[in-house]
Every structure is written in C-alpha cells, then in structure tokens.
Chain A
Amino acid sequence: MPQETARRSEDTGRGDTDGGDDSGAMTAGMQAEQGPVAGVFDLLHPPSGELIDDCVHCGFCLPTCPTYLLEGIETNSPRGRIYLMKAGKAGEVEMDEEFVGNFDACLGCMACVTACPSGVKYDQLIEAVRPQIERNWERTRADKLFRTMIFSLFPYPSRLRAAAFFGTLYQRLGLHRLLDATGLLERLPARLRAMEALLPDLSMRSVVARQPAFTPAVGPSRRRVGILSGCVQRVFFGDVNAAATRVLAAEGCDVVAPRSQQCCGALSSHAGREPEAIARARNLIDAFESVEVDTVVVTVAGCGSSMKEYGVLLRDDPDYADRAADFSAKVRDISELLDELGSVAPRHPVPGRVAYHDACHLGHAQGITAQPRAVLATIPELRVLDIPEAEICCGSAGIYNLVQPEPAERLGRRKVEHIEETRPDAVVTSNAGCLLQIRRYLDAGVPLFHPVQLLDASIRGTDLSLISADQNPSSTT
C-alpha cells in the first residue's frame, strides 16, 4: 500500500527535529521507551487511553466544532477524531491520508472542550496526536516545504519584518521560482495567496522600535511583571505591545521586557512540531528567569495558552520540568492580570460600540471570557457587544488559515457576518491571529483593536475616534 511506504519507521522518525534551524534535540529523558508501538502511534506520549475513555460518544461537541459546522461529516468532529484516536491506538486503522487529513483539519480551537459535559480533555488529546503525526507520517514535499517556510519565517521577527516590508512574499522571496521548479505550483497558490492576503500592509503601521527593557510603575509598584514581546506580535502589533506596557505601568507594574526573549513556540506546538516547540520553550524560560518577575504577561491568546502548557511540554526534561511548571504558573493573559489587580489609573471616556470577539485560545483554551469584558467595562461610555455564535472559531487558529485556506476563509466570512450583525464601531479581540484573520474580511471602515489599546486610550485620554462624524451618530446611546 502506498501509505505504508510513505510512513517513516518508528525509530528513525522519533525525535526528528523537522528542519527547524534552532530546534534542539530531545534530551535523554525525552527518549521513548523501546518496544512495540501503540497501534499507529509510537510510545512517546501517545494519546492517553484514559482521556480517550472519558468520551461517552454523546455528540454534544458536534455543534461547536467548526469543521463539523462546515462539512457535517462526523469524522471531522471531536467525537469522530477521538474515535479514530482510539481505533488508531488499537491498531484498527492505518495512519493513512484520511487519518492524518482528519487531524490536520482540526483547528485546535478547543470549543469542544468548553462544550463537553463529560470533561473530555480533547486539548491534551489532539496535542498528543499532532507530534505523533509529525514524527510518523511523511508529508508530501509541497506540504513539507510550505510548513518549513512558515516556520522559518513567522517565528523570526527580523525575517518577517523584512519579508512584509519589502512587498509581497510570493514575489520577493523567490518562492514562485522555487515552487515552479518543484512542479508543485498548482497545488500551492491557494495557500500562498492566503499568506499574502493575511499580512497587513506594514508601511501603514509605524514600525515600532523595540520595547524598552524596563518601564517603571507609575506611582508605587504593585507587581514586577515580565512581558512577552512575541514574534508576529512584535512585527505587526508593536503598538499593542507599547499600549500594554503603558497600561501595566499606569496600573502600578514594573514592566520588564527581556532582550533575550524570542518566539514562545506556540505556533510550532499547535502544529505538532514538538522538538522546535521544546527548544523555544526552554529559551523563553531562560530569558524570563534571568529577569526575576512575579508574573509573565502575554497579549496574544495563542502564546499565553501555549506558555501555560510548558509544564506539560517539558515534563520529560529533568533540567526543565520543574522550572517549566513554575514558569507556567506565572503566566497571565493581560486581561486576566488587570482584572486580578483591579484598576487604579483613572479612565477617560472612549465613546463607542465595540464587538468583543472571544479568541479561542483565550476563551476555550484558557477559560478567560469574563476578564476581558470586565476590564473593558472599566472604560466609561464604551459599550461592549457580544457576537452571535461567539463560540465558533474565526478560522485563524495558528497556521490554520495558511495551511487550510479554504475552510479558514469560510469561517472568517461567517465570523465577520456575525460581527457585522452587531453593527459595531470597532472590533476588539486579544489575539494577533484573530486580528489578522478578521481584518481580511471586515469592512475596512471598522477598526480592530486589542482590548489593551482601548484601555491605553482611556487612561491617556487620547481620542481613538471610534465613531467618525459621518457614521451612525446615534450609536453612542
């Protein structure tokens, strides 16, 4: 069978570094025990049978699963995927194209985790399956190439800035020629077009200088916090980082942005590129340990959810397991921290109606839905609107909108339709990926913000002009 030949053997596949140039090899503690495989999975943390057994097959996850919503095909639902994990583990199905395609199609939005009455930890299950697929399944050349390109670009602010700054990637990176030469151009343009369309016009944004390494609290210091600068965040949303730093300082935090910090590895982790994710996690832990902070603040939901799982990611690493768990315990989304601290800085009104979009990696993955709303509620004259079908992903989902552009586009348009039903003056969400994804489909007249930008404007009294003079003057009521 062709699938057989396409698969790598267990021993060569395990521990492969997947070509990431700074990914570390696994330590001795990470080596899987030798022996028979767990069905289609190798023995390095296959999906847990106990977690699989928590699923009673009731189907309550179906209506919140974006892929089931789009396709209506049971296989492409959490229940179907868990069923296949079980069959895979028992060796009753092959790790074939259908098997892999079914897991690749999962956005990892974790809406099913919120919906599940039996408390099935699908997040842990899918995150166990993805590295298994990366280790044990040979992707097509085109797929591998594209994924390698993504992971050689996005986690590197300097490369990303250069790529975005000098025009469209498609032309300027010479990918066209490269792909043409490999004869795969026909399959790839949808993905590349997706990438091109996703990147905002950098020239329109100020290319923000580095975050200051230290920003003292305004008034007495209430907490010493480290802030994650991020990779994509730093390049495209430097103004969010700047606003976050000002707000934290205004609320009494000493803010440290360690110079040595790099990408947190969330994109790699959510894509199953475990060795890469592990290496990045270790680096980030080192970076923040060097500056000794009480809390590590994150402004990107996807990064935050990943950093809160470092303890699990590094559980087999004797040097890092405990440190990773300690680090994860310190991680807070910025709205979580601000809500916990309570506000001290006076607010100015920011009149307008804003639709709040729950980023999946904030709401579903971290259970943070009340805090951003509570924080926004401290702003006078700001009305926060809930979006219908809020539990459904916008289609961003890490690199999903790059590797699965068609369903991502359908989800993006669906989300924006629901957003527009609320007739907002602006849209607010706490994740870089969602901001880019929604931006693509939203009416250009409606601005997008991170909640902390509205707080910053409120604290500083700057005019955000959510409501332009010619636009719906009655909407402030």
Chain B
Amino acid sequence: MSAQLVDVDHQAGVVTDELAEELRRRLTPDRIITDETRLRTFECDAITGYRVVPALVAFPETTEEVAAVVGVCAREHIPYVARGAGTGLSGGALPVAEGIVISLARMRKVLPPDVDNQRMTVEPGVTNADISKAVAAHDLYFAPDPSSQIVCTIGGNIAENSGGAHCLKYGFTTNHVYAMTLVLPDASVVTVGGDGIEQCGPDLRGAVIGSEGTLAIATSITVRLLRKPEDVQTMVADFPSAAQAGEAVSGIIAAGIVPAAVEMLDELAIEACEAAVHAGYSLDTAAALVVEIDGPAAQCEEDFDRVQEICQEAGSTHVRVAADAGERMLIWKGRKAAFAAMGRISPDYFVQDGVIPRTKLGEVLARMEEMASEAGLRVANVFHAGDGNLHPLVLYNAATEGESERGEELSTAIAELCVEMGGSITGEHGVGTDKACSMPKMFSEDDLEVMKRLRAAFDPTGISNPGKIFPTPRLCGEKPGPYREHPLEASGQIERM
C-alpha cells in the first residue's frame, strides 16, 4: 500500500476501529466506508497519476455532520480531505494515507432562489450546471463554467476558485459567491461574506475561495446569479497556424472588444473532441478559435462582425457561425469535452494549467513543441486564449515503461516555462499536489511563508488537506524541480504512480 507523499505532523492519529464505530454512530453505518475494496475508488481525483488510499470515507449530509467528522479529526489529530465529484486536475482531492476523506457528494440540496436579488443558496455537492438549471426558468444563470460543469460541484469550484471559458468576461468563482457557511478545522461553524461581494474588513470569503480545502469546508453557499444576456453569437474560426490564431486574439482584445469567451484548440485536441462529440470542427486545420460575444443585441452584432473581420485579417481560412442555440451548444459541448475526450487518442494524460502573457503565445507554443519532441511525447493544446490560460495535455501511456515519468517531467517543465515567460503555473485548476513543487519558481520564500501563516490562522495543526499547495521537502526532494525518484521511493517505502 502506498504511503503518504505529504508532510503531516508526526503526531497524527490513526483511524481505529473504535473511531470508525464512533463515526458510524454520529452519521449512519452505511455512510462510513472502511473496507479496502471501496476505499480504492477514492484514491485519486481526475489526475490518476497521484494515488493514496485513505483510511476512511465519510458521507455527511448536513453541516452538523460535517462538523462532527471534522471534530473527531481535530480531537484525534487525523488529517482529512474534502471531496466533491473528484474532477480536479491538480490532485487537490488526493487523500492522505491514514486520513479521512469527507465526501460532500450527498449534500445536494438547492434552496429556492431569491429571484429579485439574483441569489440562491445551495449545498456544496450541487453540480455547477445544476445551479444554472435550477434557475433557468427565471432567465438566470451561474456564470463560472468550468468544462466539467455538468459533473463538478460548487464546493470544488470554491476550493479551486474555478473559472471556465467565460471567465474572460465574467470572472471566476470568487466573483460569484456572496457568502458561505464554513466548517473550520477546529470543527467550529462560521459564516463569511454577506449580501454582496464587497464587505467591510478583511475578505475572509475571498481568502477561503481558492484555498484548495486547506482552510475550511464550505457546507452552504450563497451564489450570485446573472441575468442571461439578451443575445449570444458564437463562431469557430479555423487558422493555418496557432500563431495566426494568437494574432487574431490579440487583435480582438486590442479592438476594445471583451468577448464572453475566446478559446483555442489545436489539431490534436480537435481530433479528440470531434471523435467524442461530432460538433463539426474542421479536422484539417492547425488551430481553431471559438469566439463568443454576448450582451445587448445591437452591441453584440456590431462586435461580432468586427471579430469576424479581425479573424479574416489574421488569416482565418474558414469561419463558421452558429446558426442557433442548438449549434452553439454543440460547439461548446465539443470544446468542453476536450479533456475528457483524451481517452480517444491516449490512455493517460497530464493536463497543465499555465498562464502566459497573450503576446508570448506563439513563442510558448513553439517551445512546447520542441520540448514534446525531445521527450518523445505528444502534447494536445486547449486553452482559454483570451486570458492566456493554457491547458497543454501531455499524452502518455502509463503501461509503457518510463512514459509516466517523462510525461510528468514534461508537464512540470511546461508549467515552469510559463513562469519564465512572465506567467503563472496555474490559471484555474489549482496547485494541489501536482504543482506544489513548482511554487518556489513563482514565489519567494517570504511569499510562501506569508501564505503558510494565513493557513495556520485557520488550521494551526495542519489537518485540513495537508500536503497540497505548499512544497514539502519530502514531496519535492531537496530542491524543487522536475520529478526525480525520492530516496523513500527508491527504498520501497513509498510509491508514486
């Protein structure tokens, strides 16, 4: 059995049979899992390269039950990790060995919306898409739209401060959450935020959103709902090169247009999406841009015409305009299936989440191509081109000797290339386990120290999702950098898959 890869206090308690029994009494017996077979299915999130089997999984249904489980963890000093739908792409929900996973998948209540004030309170296990579905009849929706929105939960969105294709114009989760009920690592229950985004005093709400489950577990969330735009126009423009598509993106932004979304897909990504969804993307093009404009009808039309001109000026070979809502949905379905569809072209993949200045796009893509061919691996590219958020997918086959290592190395090198180019290792997927070792590339020791102090203010004993975000000597070796075998791995004491 694999041991923990993360630094946990050596005083950490263990999940004994008595403790499991206590939790069975506090919840119900069927909502506590301790058998080895079922525990296996919780050992990773959507990044299967990192796997750790927990000691117990609990399925609370109320804030009180979450607090009860956290209370036991606090008392016994047992590390815990909150989990939503397990769709995270940075190993943020990776369990801690001997620790507890608190699954929020059964907390799926949606309270009636406050339509006039465009607000609604939901539980953390509600999926992102179900929030919009619940208020669709009132012409409202929840703006953050990660590609996994039909699956991923609002609790996870809060942990990762999720964005999505439309965050270029509408912002991230933090811009759309008014208030939260939190269970803190000492099991106390508090409420942060209020009726609006702006509050007096330090923005504790803002501190928690994006903290990747290291500060608190949100058990009730009041979200901001937006009125659906009057008009939406969507197009797919094909380009003979990614660089030309990049020029078009810069041209659109320079023209003062704020599109709802600008997405780019390369040939390999298009191949996978088309195999999965048949959304009608051209298969013989090097790159495609999906541009969406929304807003008042007149403005929308004017901007849309201008965007088409800009694309043509940049050398677009073909422009397809969605004729109706059905076609628009199909285009998006194709784009949003991109990661999930990778199984069509590769058994395993690492996905990166780097951010670069838009102007460096061509250069970064060229470097990535070189790096990929050096590593002998393929890299598919899907990204939020409007805000320079890249999602290179490093394709590998875990069954082939050495490929996982090469894949992980390349993936990390790409993230760090983004930092070199003046960008960031993560745009929206979080640091999690995957990028913790790259943090010192972006932040100085002082920066990291300040972050740790904030964390310690919420979680002084380090039991809430330990081992994520911050590099640890045990995880990263002596100096951060590409993956290399750890002495403990070499000695067979831990395993990293």
Contacts and interface: CB of A to CB of B under 8 A. Distances in A.
Give the interface size bracket for B toward A: 35 or more
Nearest to B397: A53
A226 B27 CA distance: 56
Given A56-B347, A75-B41, 17 more contacts: A53-B348, A57-B48, A58-B46, A59-B152, A62-B85, A63-B127, A71-B106, A73-B38, A96-B35, A96-B37, A98-B38, A99-B37, A102-B37, A116-B340, A117-B340, A117-B341, A118-B276
B329 interface: no
A301 interface: no
B37 A94 contact: yes
A57 B44 CA distance: 9
Contacts of A54: 343-344, 347
A116 B42 CA distance: 20
B150 interface: yes
A120 B151 contact: no
8 contacts: A60-B151, A72-B105, A75-B38, A79-B41, A87-B37, A99-B37, A117-B343, A118-B344
B399 interface: yes
A189 B145 CA distance: 47
A120 B337 CA distance: 14
Contacts of B340: 56, 58, 60, 116-118
B153 to A, nearest CB: 10
A93 B276 CA distance: 32
B59 interface: yes
B59 A72 contact: yes
Given A56-B343, A59-B151, A102 B38 contact: yes
Interface in A90-116: 92-94, 96, 98-99, 102, 116
A116 B106 CA distance: 22
Nearest to B105: A72
B104 to A, nearest CB: 9
B80 interface: no
B103 A72 contact: yes
A59 B40 contact: no
Interface in B116-133: 125, 127
Given A56-B348, A74-B86, A118 B341 contact: yes
B87 interface: yes
The 7 A-B pairs at the shortest CB distance, nearest first, are namely A118-B343, A72-B105, A117-B340, A58-B340, A117-B337, A80-B41, A72-B106
Contacts of A397: none
A59 B148 contact: yes
Interface of B: 33, 35-38, 40-42, 44-46, 48, 59, 85-87, 103, 105-106, 108, 125, 127, 148, 150-152, 275-277, 337, 339-344, 347-349, 399
Contacts of B48: 56-57
A119 interface: yes
A63 B87 CA distance: 12
Contacts of B33: 73, 75
A119 B105 contact: no
Contacts of B399: 53
Task: Please report whether the interface of chain A is mostly helix, strand, loop or mixed according to DSSP.
Answer: loop
Contacts of B44: 57
B275 A62 contact: no
B150 A60 contact: yes
B125 to A, nearest CB: 7
Contacts of B343: 54-56, 58, 117-120
Nearest to B104: A72
Contacts of B86: 59, 74
Contacts of A156: none
Contact of A119 (B41, B151, B276): B276
B40 A83 contact: yes
Contacts of B277: 117
A399 interface: no
A118 B148 contact: no
Interface core residue of A53, A73, A83, A96 (most chain B CB under 10 Å)? A73
A249 interface: no
Contacts of B40: 83-84, 87, 92-93
A333 B44 CA distance: 41
Interface core residue of A72, A93, A102, A116 (most chain B CB under 10 Å)? A72
Contacts, number: 109
Give the interface size bracket for A toward B: 20 to 34
Given A53-B399, A83-B41, A118 B342 contact: yes
A98 B37 contact: yes
Contacts of A98: 35, 37-38
A74 B41 contact: yes
Interface core residue of B37, B106, B337, B339 (most chain A CB under 10 Å)? B37
B108 A72 contact: yes
A199 B454 CA distance: 63
Interface core residue of A75, A87, A92 (most chain B CB under 10 Å)? A75
Nearest to B1: A92
Interface core residue of A58, A75, A83 (most chain B CB under 10 Å)? A58
A151 B413 CA distance: 59
B105 A74 contact: yes
B230 to A, nearest CB: 26
Given A58-B46, A62-B151, A119 B347 contact: no
Nearest to A83: B41
Contact of B344 (A59, A75, A119): A119
Contact of B59 (A73, A80, A93, A118): A73
Nearest to A92: B40
A120 B343 CA distance: 8
Given A117-B277, A119-B344, A59 B87 contact: yes
B349 A56 contact: yes
A220 B280 CA distance: 41
A117 B343 CA distance: 8
Contacts of B349: 56
Interface core residue of B48, B86, B275 (most chain A CB under 10 Å)? B86
Interface in A136-184: none
B276 A117 contact: yes
B151 A93 contact: no
Interface core residue of A55, A60, A87 (most chain B CB under 10 Å)? A60
Interface string A264-275: 000000000000
Interface core residue of A73, A94, A117 (most chain B CB under 10 Å)? A117
Contacts of B105: 68, 72-74
Contacts of A94: 37
Contacts of B348: 53, 56
A54 B45 CA distance: 16
Contacts of A68: 105
Interface in A219-250: none
Contacts of A80: 41
Contacts of A87: 37, 40
Interface core residue of A56, A57, A79 (most chain B CB under 10 Å)? A56
A58 B151 CA distance: 9
Given A98-B37, A102-B38, A117-B277, A58 B339 contact: yes
Nearest to A96: B37
Contact of B42 (A74, A93, A119): A74
A358 to B, nearest CB: 18
Contact of A60 (B41, B42, B125, B148): B148
